[in-house]
Amino acid sequence: MVLNPTPGASGAPQSTAKAKAPTAKNVIFINGDGMGAAAREAARLHLAGLQGRLTMDRLPVSGQLTTTPDDPKAVVTDSAAAATAWATGEKTYNGAISVDTHGNPLPTLGAQAKAAGKATGLVTTAQVTDASPAAFFANTADRGKQDEIARQYLDVSKPDVILGGGEDWWLPAGTAGAFPDKPAEDTSEGSRGTKGNLIAKAQRSGYRYVTNAKDLDKATGGKVLGLFGNEEMFQQRPEGQGDVYAPAVDLATMTSKALKTLDKNKKGFFLMVEEEGVDEFAHSNNGTRVLQSMQQLEKAVAVARAYQATHPDTLLVVTGDHETGGLAVEENDTADESGTGVSAEDGPFTIHGSDRTFTIDWTTSGHTSVDVPVTAAGPLASRFTGKHANTYVHDVLSQVLAPRR
């Protein structure tokens, strides 16, 4: 009698086949800036209902990330240190963009992907030179040097697609671009760069420059620089005092255009996508705008998930750099202490498909150090199961993006 060999992971006998290690060609990394577990739960109730699920929560693999920085003066991270941990695999101090604790530049995933021949891109509703996208494509000891970050994009890391806000940092003071200096909605905004006219430089370098949805839609092939606002693509003032979430081009549209552009590279791509509004409006304890921002993030995740579903060699990861606001989802209870200022309750907010509502309670106007959820799909996604330091993101993504030896 011949005994059947033990099946391997592929279903074939171990004696004749070996399980293949998962491989990925593309990476889509999505950051809900300031998005902790409670923000995802509030969005789930508001957008999907009591028993519903968000697209970002339907990804098959889930885990947690810790976010503590390596900062002698802080135990709670900012976006710069958190994104540096993702992009370089090393902890650093708050305010640092992909430099170590001594200020030395570190290799970034964006640069590694480019060296491997992959196309690269970033999409954000913040300034394209803000901390989170910058950490993947630049090195500076001070996140505030956004004009220097823009210069490095053009001279060093050269992302193929750059879409978001922040035109002010690409133009010298006194040289207004598509968006006028001192606009009525925020008179503090205006061109402020110190590196010359970087938009003109980008155009000379082969980028097609666009400033509205119509021109973005027409942009085909090649490199694209789209700047759709002076600074962030929204106004984050306190509720009822000029707070507006109405980006000139929504995050899902920018994500879709980026994917269509980067997809043309036969060696694959790395795309970093960010919704900044979750963080900024949570700083203002503005639940209405946080939920709007979460809705736009969810739509962008749906675009990315649809792409990943038809391109199974794509790793899709959705997480947050830190939690903002100490947000909690509560029952509507008039007997509960509502507090004042940053401890005030916010709401009530509707639950999709229900006549019930919920309240958001805030504990701070700053960041907190709670773990953030991470969900993933595609090759290597299973590596995100469990609890890891945020530097672990780099450990996984670098397996896809680092140049092959």
Binding residues for Zn(2+): 33, 279, 283, 321-322, 367
Q: What are phi and psi of 193, to 5 degrees?
A: -70, 160
Q: What does the pLDDT read at residue 37?
A: 98
Q: In angstroms, rounded to a whole number, what is the distance separating the alpha carbons of residues 378 and 22? A: 9
Which residue type sits at 324? Answer: T
3-state secondary structure of 120: strand
Q: Which two tokens stand for residue 390?
A: 């945020």
At 237, the pLDDT band (50, 70, 90 cuts) reads confident
What does the DSSP 8-state code read for residue 364? Answer: -
Q: What does the pLDDT read at residue 339?
A: 65
Q: In angstroms, rounded to a whole number, what is the distance separating the alpha carbons of residues 119 and 220? A: 15
Q: In angstroms, rounded to a whole number, what is the distance separating the alpha carbons of residues 124 and 153? A: 15
Q: What does the pLDDT read at residue 12?
A: 41
Which residue type sits at 40? Answer: R
Whose structure tokens read 């000379």? 204
- Mean per-residue pLDDT, 278-289: 96
Binding residues for Mg(2+): 33, 130, 132, 274
Q: In sequence order, which ranges of 228-376 are alpha helices (DSSP H)?
A: 251-262, 277-283, 287-310
pLDDT in tens, 171-199: 999 999 999 999 988 999 999 999 999 99
What does the DSSP 8-state code read for residue 218? Answer: H
Q: What does the pLDDT read at residue 236?
A: 86
Asked whether residue 60 carries a pLDDT value surpassing 70, the answer given is yes
Asked whether residue 401 carries a pLDDT value surpassing 70, the answer given is yes
- Mapping DSSP onto H, E and C, the string for 304-339 reads HHHHHHHCCCEEEEEECCCEECCCEEECCCCCCCCC
Domains and CATH numbers, the chain: 26-401 (3.40.720.10)
Q: In angstroms, rounded to a whole number, what is the distance separating the alpha carbons of residues 288 and 240? A: 11
Cβ(268)–Cβ(312) below 8 Å:
no
pLDDT in tens, 291-334: 999 999 999 999 999 999 999 999 999 999 999 999 999 998 87
Q: Which residues are catalytic?
A: 79
Of 313, 320, 334, nearest in space to 379 by CA: 313
Whose structure tokens read 């038809």? 310
Asked whether residue 4 carries a pLDDT value surpassing 50, the answer given is no
The helix-helix angle for 287-310 and 251-262 (nearest 10°) equals 20
In b/e form, how buried is each residue of 218-242, taking b as 16+ CB within 10 angstroms?
Answer: ebeeebbbbbbbbbbbbbbbeeeee
- Mean per-residue pLDDT, 212-233: 95
For residue 81, the tally of other CB atoms under 10 A from its CB is 29
- Mean per-residue pLDDT, 11-22: 48
Q: What does the pLDDT read at residue 20?
A: 59
Q: What does the pLDDT read at residue 334?
A: 75
Q: Which two tokens stand for residue 272?
A: 């970093």
Asked whether residue 8 carries a pLDDT value surpassing 60, the answer given is no
What does the DSSP 8-state code read for residue 91? Answer: -
Write out the H or E segment, with its range, that includes residue 122: strand 119-127
Mean pLDDT of the residues in the chain: 93
| Percentage of the residues of the chain whose pLDDT score is greater than 70 | 92
Asked whether residue 106 carries a pLDDT value surpassing 70, the answer given is yes
Q: In angstroms, rounded to a whole number, what is the distance separating the alpha carbons of residues 83 and 393? A: 10
Q: What does the pLDDT read at residue 1?
A: 36
Q: In angstroms, rounded to a whole number, what is the distance separating the alpha carbons of residues 376 and 241? A: 38
CA dihedral 374, 378, 380, 383 (to 10 degrees): 30
Asked whether residue 124 carries a pLDDT value surpassing 70, the answer given is yes
Cβ(162)–Cβ(170) below 8 Å:
no
Asked whether residue 287 carries a pLDDT value surpassing 70, the answer given is yes
Who has greater pLDDT, 275 or 221? 275
Q: In angstroms, rounded to a whole number, what is the distance separating the alpha carbons of residues 89 and 146? A: 22
At 288, the pLDDT band (50, 70, 90 cuts) reads very high
At 22, the pLDDT band (50, 70, 90 cuts) reads low
3-state secondary structure of 398: helix
Using a 10 angstrom Cβ sphere, with 0-12 exposed, 13-18 middle and 19 or more buried, the burial of residue 31 is buried
Q: What is the pTM of this model?
A: 0.93
Asked whether residue 161 carries a pLDDT value surpassing 80, the answer given is yes
Q: In angstroms, rounded to a whole number, what is the distance separating the alpha carbons of residues 128 and 84? A: 16
3-state secondary structure of 151: helix
